[in-house]
Amino acid sequence: MDKQLTGINKLDTLTHAKRSIPSNILCFSHLRWDFVFQRPQHLLTRFAKIFNVYFLEEPVFEKTAAPFLSKSTREENLWVLIPHLPEGLSEKEISDYQEDLVSQFLKTQNVDDYAFWYYTPMALEYSRKFKPSMIIYDCMDELSAFKFAPPAIKKLENELFQKADIVFTGGYSLYEAKKKEHSNIFPFPSSIDKQHFEKARTYKKAPKDQVDISRPRIGFFGVIDERFDIDLIREMAERRPNWQFILIGPVVKIDPATLPIRENIHYKGSKTYLELPEYLSGWDIALIPFLLNESTQFISPTKTPEYLAAGIPVISTPIKDVVRPYGLEKLVHIAETPEDFIAAIEVELTKPKEGWLAKVDAFLMQNSWDLTCSKMLHQIELSFGKISKKEKITISTI
């Protein structure tokens, strides 16, 4: 607990302290801020206590007379920027317009002391000409392995590795795959807002669209995309018609018509981050039903510790960053086939939870987004100190 409090206190202290790091972060993201609350949102809402954070999304295309950049507030010191571009532009025009919009924004907002924070290497196509004080790459996924990944993404990531001053990875397996690409790289796997998800343990009132679903309830929340094992859900639902499968999240990059339709499968669509504990409170089992393929080879599912904090037994396919550490610590059941999943669920439905829950709580005690941010900030400070020292040496030799 002391370590966790140290992380929180450091963030609070630095809010008011004089810092020798850039005052502003301009983040380039392939994800929409309001899509699903995940790693970028967890990190950047916390960094907004220290920096002015500008979260730049990918452009939207519409019948507009001239390109413009919209700006809206999400938190104190945190703004979402969206480029609005005309339809029918070439790739070069799209890149040129975005470069112009970023340049105009920095000038009109008088932002001259800034760091670039990348989630997508594709943003280099329009941002490489700028001179930020520091470049940070938070490599949260192997984006090149995702469905519909741009062909140029690997080449641009290699360029980003050359330009970045510091690199973070979204998990240990991704770190192992990328560690030779950069000399200043650190693994920061998915963390947890423990207090938020612990609310699920004490909720008494069920959501209106879940209250009439019988038990046992076996649930999943997250994006339902090419990583999701549709056949696994179908098989379990067919073999255990009395079990109720609750699936929360948007369906993207796959045809919704391919999803299994049965009376005991309940698609609830997207729910807000604030609503999730209320739904989790009524589940008996939580699932991580991901396929084992290129797109899941290096993922570190944030939902793993979130499910555990809610006090719900978890069954997962053998995703590397779930097996280690959660499977090895016997906090999560690891299963591969529908038969394995069914057997594990049957065990968990009847097994006492007290001893397991105590072990979960002890494990999660040292795991928080506050602590992760504090450790990241420490590495950023060290790296920026090296940059500043190098610049002073360069100037003194001219």
CA nearest 8: which of 366, 391, 382, 394?
Answer: 366
**In the chain, what percentage of residues exceed pLDDT 70?**
92
Q: What is the pLDDT of residue 235?
A: 98
How high is the pLDDT of residue 384?
93
Q: Are residues 203 and 119 in the same domain?
A: no
Same domain flag for 179 and 282: no
pLDDT at position 386 over 60: yes
Quote the pTM value.
Answer: 0.88
Q: What six digits make up the tokens of 138? A: 């938070």
Q: pLDDT at residue 18 above 80?
A: no
Q: Could you report the per-residue pLDDT of 79-116, keeping only the tens digit for each?
A: 999 999 999 999 999 999 999 999 999 999 999 899 99
Please indicate, yes or no, whether residues 148 and 183 belong to a single structural domain of this protein.
yes
CB under 8 A, 24+ apart: contacts of 173-180: 173/297, 173/298, 173/300, 173/320, 173/321, 174/139, 174/141, 174/142, 174/298, 174/300, 174/321, 177/142, 177/298, 178/139
CATH of the domain at 337: 3.40.50.2000
325 and 273 part of one domain? yes
Residue 181 is which amino acid? E
Structure tokens at 135: 């470049």
- Same domain? For 174 and 219 the reply is no
Residues in CB range of 28: below 8 A, 6 or more apart: 56, 116, 117, 118, 119, 120, 123, 127
Same domain, yes or no, for 151 and 219? Answer: no
Asked if residue 49 belongs to a domain, the reply is yes
Q: What is the model's pLDDT at position 394?
A: 46
pLDDT at 3: 35
Average pLDDT over residues 71-79: 97
Q: Is 10 a member of any domain? A: no
Residues 294 and 349 in one domain: yes
Secondary structure element (H or E) that encloses residue 194, with its range: helix 194-198
Number of domains in the chain: 2
